Amino acid sequence: MDRGPWKKWTPAVAAAATIAALAAGGSITASARTDLPDRTPQDVLEMVAAHELEGFSGRLESSVELGLPQLPGADVRDGEDEDDGSVDGRIAGLLSELTGTHEARLFADGHDRFRLQLLEGADQKDLVLNEGELWSYDSAENEAVHLTLPRHGAGEESPLARQHPGVAMPTPEQIAERLLEKAEAHSVVSVEEGTSDSGRDVYTLRLEPRTDQTLVDTVAVDVDAATGMPLGVEVRAVGQDEPAVSVAFTEFTPEVPDAGLFDFSPPAGATVEDVSLPDGMMRHGGPGHCGSGAHHHRGEVVGDGWDAVVVMPADAVPQDVADSAVLDELAVDVEDGRLLSTPLLNVLLTDDGRVLAGAVPQQRLLDVAASGTGEE
Amino acid sequence: MLASELRLLFRRRRTWALFAALAAVPVLIGVAVRVSTGPPRGRGPAFLDQVAGNGLFLAVVGLLVSVPLFLPLTVAVVAGDSIAGEASQGTLRYLLTAPVPRAGLLLVKYAVIVVFCAAAVLVLAAAGVLVGLVLFGVQPAVLLSGDTVGLGESYARIALITAYVGVSLLGLGAIGLFLSTLSDVPVGVMAAIAVLAVAAQIAGSLPQLEWLHPWLFTEHWTGFVDLLRQPVLWDSFVDNALLQAGYVAVSGALAYGRFATKDVLS
């Protein structure tokens, strides 16, 4: 009779043990190696260039760890803060939008319709493109923005269309060859087989910079073995355990989603804004990205590999950016200027007003600055 | 035996008092929104704002407001009383003289808790739908993705959310059953269950305890907003169901271990 009472506890132990085993087992199977035919980097790049999907739906997770200190204004960022138009507000808004972990769902029909849904807690932002009609909807503000895109030649209509080279484009083999040639000049390129976060078999294309004059440790691109679709990108910085930037599908279904998803009409009661877009603005992302890319063409690039440094002369840098309080808070003083340092990117604001940026160690920025590039 | 236990539950005045308190939640919110000029904008999820325009959302808001405290409290009362109440009244040993094994008695008691959870969320949702209909009328509902869906699908989504909340409470009910086997003082058990529900939610809001969050039974309690997206995001429903099943299995087994080895003296 001694063992009697203990037997009654067996189910409790068994239940706990089963759950523990399931929890542990889940993480083991996730990293199990798969059995795919061997491919060279050339083959994988060809797969990417040739891939043509009749639509898909998926779930994306992006995480950006810039290692910046928490900004005081970033938490209370709300509609009002963004609209004040100040550089500080814009920088803080942009940083909080870019950094951290974000989740999104993406649906595409393989042609000119797609829908992106940013999941933000109990709110959601939608971006719907349906044959030249672009809608964005923000559930938190109950605001919709409507935009009719000007008709362009193929290749500019949607991000998806951009991935599909038109008829006049070179063949996938040629694209792969050229890309590989460029990549191998500066990096060691290798291919591994594995399983992505979405549970699909992938080839992981890994680039390791040949130079040590860069903060980039590796860049890895997951390419779906079945469809050739890139499923994830991961950038690791030197000396960091966690990836600095990672964007990947956590779910991916290569099937055309329900066509009704792309029919969007704003709900009754929502504020609707009609925006018309001047030609030529298409090249820069959506609204909110203006300003970040606009000045690049006035800058100068030193170096052509991983150690490239972008130098902007003093007159290309808006004064309010240089004087921004947010930048002041993030930057540290170095000789001849201020340095904004993150694991993956260093930005140097020199005392004479130039801005130098690159995925390079700070010493290289200082060297380039001292060489006088970008001075009048 | 299950039928007699259920009759006992629904014959109690206390049960009906709990239902009335739950039904009062959407009534209060509805009346408050109706007499005021409209809820202040920019607080909480956007669909709170929609109550004034659409009665359908009152049920959803009523559920959302009740999930953190009111619903756990009612479950705590019923689950805490299940075994400890019988023990304190001295009726437990009479129950055990019936030709039913102790595991069977536990199962019946848990089934009663499950029925109560289902009834509680149904009362809450039905009150919300009815009050919303009377006070605001109904229009096609706007989902988080900005899509507008018709009445039929709106009701289907409300039913789904109701089911989600009901499932959310099953883990707590099982924990309550286990705690109830530990003691002969039902009030103490009820308090312990309620405190546990609140403590789990506080732990869930502390970023320092992030490693613990996936294991908290309250983790997905408010995840039903995912059912208001188009297309429906099922992940949280599935995750929640798995999590609750895990708690039911472990707590149920613990309750059996305790109850089967317990000396019932009263």
Q: What is the arithmetic mean of pLDDT over A295-299? A: 55
Question: Nearest C-alpha of chain A: how many angstroms from B11?
Answer: 33
Check: CB of residue A213 under 8 Å from CB of residue A197: no
* pLDDT tens, position by position, A256-279: 888 888 988 888 778 888 887 665
Q: Which residues contact A337 (CB under 8 A, 6 or more apart)?
A: A348, A349, A350, A351, A369
- The reply to whether A350 falls in a domain is yes
Cβ within 8 Å, pair A15-B46: no
Better pLDDT: A10 or A92 = A10
Cβ burial A147-183 (10 Å sphere, 16+ → b, else e):
bebeeeeeeebbebbeebbeeeeeebeebbbebbeeb
- The reply to whether A188 falls in a domain is yes
- The reply to whether A13 falls in a domain is no
Cβ within 8 Å, pair B230-A142: no
Q: Is A64 helix (H, G, I), strand (E, B) or coil?
A: strand
Residues A159 and A277 occupy one common structural domain: yes
Please tell me the predicted confidence (pLDDT) of residue A83. Answer: 44
The reported pTM is 0.80
Cβ within 8 Å, pair A264-B147: yes
Q: What is the arithmetic mean of pLDDT over A195-217? A: 88
Domain boundary among A223, A249, A283: A283
Cβ-nearest to A8 among B47, B139, B257: B257
Please tell me the predicted confidence (pLDDT) of residue A70. Answer: 55
Structure tokens at B124: 């809450």
Q: What is the arithmetic mean of pLDDT over B206-216? A: 90
**Which of these ranges, A92-96, A225-229, A337-341, B176-180, has the smallest mean pLDDT?**
A92-96
What sign for the dihedral angle of Cα A253, A254, A259, A262? Answer: positive
Chain B interface disruption, residue of A10, A139, A251, most B CBs within 10 A: A139
Check: CB of residue A252 under 8 Å from CB of residue A198: yes
Q: Is B126 helix (H, G, I), strand (E, B) or coil?
A: helix
Please tell me the predicted confidence (pLDDT) of residue A376. Answer: 57
Chain A interface disruption, residue of B107, B142, B205, B224, most A CBs within 10 A: B142
3-state secondary structure B173-225: HHHHHHHHHHCCCHHHHHHHHHHHHHHHHHHHHCHHHHHHHHHCCCCCCCHHH
Peptide bond into A165 cis (omega under 30): no
Strands A187-195 vs A245-253: parallel, antiparallel or unpaired: unpaired
Please tell me the predicted confidence (pLDDT) of residue B49. Answer: 66
Q: Which domain holds residue A239?
A: 41-283
Please tell me the predicted confidence (pLDDT) of residue B265. Answer: 67
Q: B177: which chain A residues are within 8 Å (Cβ-Cβ)?
A: none
Please tell me the predicted confidence (pLDDT) of residue B68. Answer: 92
Q: A121: which chain B residues are within 8 Å (Cβ-Cβ)?
A: 45, 225
Residues A130 and A218 occupy one common structural domain: yes
Residues A319 and A279 occupy one common structural domain: no
Q: B46: which chain A residues are within 8 Å (Cβ-Cβ)?
A: 122-123, 139-142
Compute the count of residue pairs across chains A and B with CB atoms less than 8 Å apart: 83
Residues A249 and A356 occupy one common structural domain: no
Q: B246: which chain A residues are within 8 Å (Cβ-Cβ)?
A: 19
Cβ within 8 Å, pair A8-B147: no
Cβ within 8 Å, pair A139-B231: no
Residues A185 and A225 occupy one common structural domain: yes
Per-residue confidence at B94, pLDDT binned at 50, 70, 90? Answer: confident
Structure tokens at B136: 């605001």
Better pLDDT: B51 or B188 = B188
Cβ within 8 Å, pair B139-A126: no
Q: B53: which chain A residues are within 8 Å (Cβ-Cβ)?
A: 269
Computed over every residue of chain B, the mean pLDDT equals 89
> CATH code at A329?
3.30.310
Q: A136: which chain B residues are within 8 Å (Cβ-Cβ)?
A: none
Cβ-nearest to B144 among A16, A139, A265: A139
- The reply to whether B266 falls in a domain is no
Per-residue confidence at B221, pLDDT binned at 50, 70, 90? Answer: very high
* pLDDT tens, position by position, B37-91: 655 554 455 556 676 667 788 898 899 899 999 999 999 999 999 999 999 988 8
* pLDDT tens, position by position, B5-23: 899 899 999 999 999 999 9
Residues A203 and A241 occupy one common structural domain: yes
Q: Is B202 exposed, middle or buried (0-12, 13-18, 19+ CB in 10 A)?
A: exposed
Could you give the number of structural domains in chain A?
2
Length of chain A (residues): 376
Q: What is the arithmetic mean of pLDDT over A27-34? A: 58
Q: Say whether pLDDT at A284 is over 70.
A: no
* pLDDT tens, position by position, B114-171: 999 999 999 999 999 999 899 888 888 888 888 888 888 889 999 999 999 999 999 9
Could you give the number of structural domains in chain B?
1
What ipTM did this prediction achieve?
Answer: 0.77
Better pLDDT: B124 or A355 = B124
- The reply to whether A290 falls in a domain is no
Cβ-nearest to A9 among B45, B250, B257: B257
Residues A326 and A274 occupy one common structural domain: no
Cβ within 8 Å, pair A266-B146: yes
- The reply to whether A32 falls in a domain is no
3-state helix, strand, coil in chain A (%, to 5): 30, 30, 40
- The reply to whether A67 falls in a domain is yes
Q: What DSSP character marks residue B229?
A: S
Q: Say whether pLDDT at B242 is over 90.
A: yes
Q: Say whether pLDDT at A350 is over 80.
A: yes
Cβ within 8 Å, pair B230-A261: yes
Please tell me the predicted confidence (pLDDT) of residue A133. Answer: 87
Cβ-nearest to B145 among A5, A11, A126: A126
- The reply to whether A341 falls in a domain is yes
Domain boundary among A235, A251, A283: A283
Number of helices (H), then strands (E), belonging to chain B: the values are 9, 2
**Which of these ranges, A85-94, A301-310, B71-80, B103-112, has the smallest mean pLDDT?**
A85-94
Please tell me the predicted confidence (pLDDT) of residue A296. Answer: 45
Question: Residues of chain A with pLDDT > 70: what percent?
Answer: 78
Computed over every residue of chain A, the mean pLDDT equals 77
- At residue A331, φ and ψ (nearest 5 deg) are -85, 155
* pLDDT tens, position by position, A129-171: 988 889 999 888 888 999 887 765 444 444 444 444 444 557 7
Per-residue confidence at A194, pLDDT binned at 50, 70, 90? Answer: confident
Q: Say whether pLDDT at A20 is over 70.
A: yes
Better pLDDT: A114 or B43 = A114
Cβ within 8 Å, pair A18-B225: no
Per-residue confidence at A291, pLDDT binned at 50, 70, 90? Answer: very low
Q: Which domain holds residue B28?
A: 2-261
Domain boundary among A283, A313, A336: A283
- The reply to whether B150 falls in a domain is yes
